[in-house]
Amino acid sequence: MKFLDLAKVYVRSGGGGAGCVSFRREKFIEYGGPDGGDGGRGGDVWAEAVGGLNTLIDFRFQQHFFAKSGQHGMGSQRTGASGDDIVLSIPVGTEILDEDQETVIADVTQPGQRVLLAKGGNGGFGNLHFKSSTNRSPRNANPGLPGVERTLWLRLKLIADAGLLGLPNAGKSTFLSAVSNARPKIADYPFTTLHPNLGVVGVDTYEFVMADIPGLIEGASEGRGLGDQFLGHVERSRVLLHLIDGTSDDVAGDARTILNELAAYSPALAEKPRITALNKIDAMEPDEIAEKQAALQAELGGKIHLMSGVSREGVTDVLRALWSEIAPSRQPVEEKDSGSWQP
């Protein structure tokens, strides 16, 4: 299935049906009076988060969603039928934006969560509603209210516990394939990954979800390479894993490039907890490893993990470091499941 994380949709709720002007005329009934029914209300347009979806590709082939209008009222005090609602099934983690692509209408983060996008118009009153002691035979009725028409944007941000960052060919896809059942494309040229990938990672007795996004290069915030359009998929992550290619001539410069692009995209993303790992140590000599680890520590500070996605050396230690950052967000859920959690 093709990956699509941004879609434009046009929605319109149904208009309300008009009220009816009618009078009761039956044999042997001397005073019939008004009996016009109300119009039915128009259908609503809803968005609902559905588990199992991870792309907006369905909205490439259908962008217009129109709910049915309500039927007009009828005689004998009959109310018109209401229009059917329309429900847009969207992946969990989708943001619904107004036409300006900046105003967030809703952020759908839970399966089954529903958002009203356009409310249907109310039906008009029939002439029965206007009957009074001074107006025994009203000959007027209300028209139904029109529906609401809107242009909206859907932007998908994958929900993952950990996100992978790095320059092209830093070994992100190799790492993800080594620690999970995900099978991203792996090759020896830049920008092998063209869209985000998700994998379920296990360490010790715990599991968490990891997201791999296409590599960043200097100037990504200005549109170079694939740009920073996929950084939104790691915004929801609890922790970021920054992989640095150990075979590069300037590991400190590579690390700084990624941090600069993160800061240019979002200061909040740049401040997220981050685990830094020097990758591909299986292709390096011990003295070279020590030299480049020291260079990274001088540039970034903190601990620099050593690992290889190919030989799996040091991978478990990196996964445990990631889990230590993710665990606090899981603790209330686990305690509640065990019966010891208190609100």
Question: Residue 29, Cβ neighbours under 10 Å: how many?
Answer: 9
Tell me the pLDDT tens digit for each residue of 234-249.
777 888 888 888 888 8
Tokens representing 53 are 């979806």
Section 287-311 average pLDDT:
87
Tell me the two tokens of residue 24: 């009761």
120-124, 249-253, 327-331: least confidently modelled range: 327-331
Confidence of residue 339 (pLDDT cuts 50, 70, 90): very low
**Separation CA 164–CA 178 (nearest Å):** 14
What are the b/e assignments for 191-201, b being 16+ CB within 10 Å?
ebbebbbbbeb
Closest of 219, 232, 127 to residue 167, by C-alpha? 219
**Least confident interval from 39-48, 154-163, 289-298:** 154-163
Q: What is the pLDDT of residue 229?
A: 61
Binding site feature residues for Mg(2+): 173, 193
Mean pLDDT along residues 338-342: 37
What per-residue confidence (pLDDT) applies to 31? 77
> Could you tell me the pLDDT band of residue 219, with boundaries at 50, 70 and 90?
low
Tell me: pLDDT of 294 over 50.
yes
pLDDT above 80: residue 39 = yes
Confidence of residue 15 (pLDDT cuts 50, 70, 90): very high
Q: What is the mean pLDDT of residues 120-128?
A: 93
Q: Under CATH, domain 1-156 is a member of which superfamily?
A: GTP1/OBG domain (2.70.210.12)
Query: How would residue 343 be classed by pLDDT, with cut points 50, 70 and 90?
Result: very low
Percent residues over pLDDT 90 in the chain: 28
| H or E element at residue 247 | none
| Each residue's pLDDT tens digit, 172-201 | 788 888 887 766 555 554 555 556 777 788
Q: Look at residue 326 in the predicted model and tell me its pLDDT.
A: 87
Domain layout of the chain by residue ranges: 1-156, 162-337
pLDDT of residue 149: 94
Instruction: With a cut of 60, say whether residue 340 has pLDDT above it.
Output: no
- Known binding residues: 166-173, 191-195, 212-215, 279-282, 308-310
Binding-site residues from annotation for GTP:
166-173, 191-195, 212-215, 279-282, 308-310
* Higher-pLDDT residue of 54, 325: 325
| CATH classification (class only), 162-337 | alpha beta
Q: How far is CA 275 from the centre of its chain?
A: 25
Report the pLDDT value the prediction gives residue 184, as an integer from 0 to 100: 59
Report the amino acid identity of residue 292.
K
How far is it between the farthest Cα atoms of the chain? 110
- CA gap 308, 314 in Å, rounded: 7
pLDDT at position 262 over 90: no
Q: How confident is the model at residue 38 (pLDDT cuts 50, 70, 90)?
A: very high
pLDDT the model gives residue 336: 39
Compute the average pLDDT of residues 245-257. 86
Share of the chain above pLDDT 70, in %: 86
Judge whether residue 288 has pLDDT over 60: yes
Q: Is the confidence at residue 207, as pLDDT, over 80?
A: yes
Predicted pLDDT of residue 338? 40
pLDDT at 67: 94
What separation in angstroms does the CA of 326 have from each of 160, 165, 236, 323, 340?
Answer: 10, 17, 12, 5, 20
Higher pLDDT, 156 or 339: 156
